[in-house]
């Protein structure tokens, strides 16, 4: 990832309008900023959320609050709690996430 032509700036995530995205079950609220080709999001998953698709987009994801389980299409699962992150490249290991309790994440993709 190269960050070019991006002057210093700050983001007050509470001031970014949220968009609601339905999952197979539950919903997610995304607060999104676009910086050139880099998308940065603060995402809140409701309790009971299950993604409605297998994702092949690359991400760097940090769990800030709650608990999130990420499942790979190979069947492996990874539990994320506060302070735990994962990273995956575009086109690598399709994945989807779910949460019983809810979670708040910071995602760069």
- Is residue 27, in this structure, part of any structural domain at all? no
Q: How does residue 6 score in pLDDT terms, banded at 50, 70 and 90? A: confident
- pLDDT tens readout for residues 45-71: 999 999 999 999 999 999 999 999 999
Range of the domain at 86: 39-108
Does the residue 49 lie in any domain? yes
Read out DSSP for the chain? Answer: ----S-------GGGSPEEEEE-SBSEEEEEEEEETTEEEEEEEEPTT-B-SS-B-S-EEEEEEEE-EEEEETTS-EEEE-TT-EEEE-TTSS-EEEE-SS-EEEEEE-
90 within a domain of the structure (yes/no): yes
Q: How does residue 1 score in pLDDT terms, banded at 50, 70 and 90?
A: low
- Identify whether 79 is part of a domain: yes
**pLDDT tens column, 88-107:** 999 999 999 999 999 999 99
User: Residues 34-40: what's their mean pLDDT?
Assistant: 92
**CATH at 54:** 2.60.120.10
In a domain, 91, yes or no: yes
* pTM for the full predicted model: 0.92
10 assigned to some structural domain: no
Total tally of structural domains belonging to the chain: 1
């Amino acid at each position: 990832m190269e960050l070019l032509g991006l002057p210093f700036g700050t983001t007050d995530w509470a001031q970014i309008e949220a968009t609601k995205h339905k999952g197979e079950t539950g919903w997610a609220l995304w607060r999104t900023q676009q910086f050139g080709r880099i998308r940065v999001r603060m995402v809140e998953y409701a309790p009971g959320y299950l993604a409605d698709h297998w994702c092949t987009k690359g991400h760097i994801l940090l769990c800030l609050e709650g608990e999130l389980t990420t499942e790979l299409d190979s069947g492996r699962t990874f539990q994320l709690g506060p302070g735990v992150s994962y990273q995956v490249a575009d086109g690598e290991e399709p994945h989807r996430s779910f949460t019983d309790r809810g979670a708040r994440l910071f995602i760069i993709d």
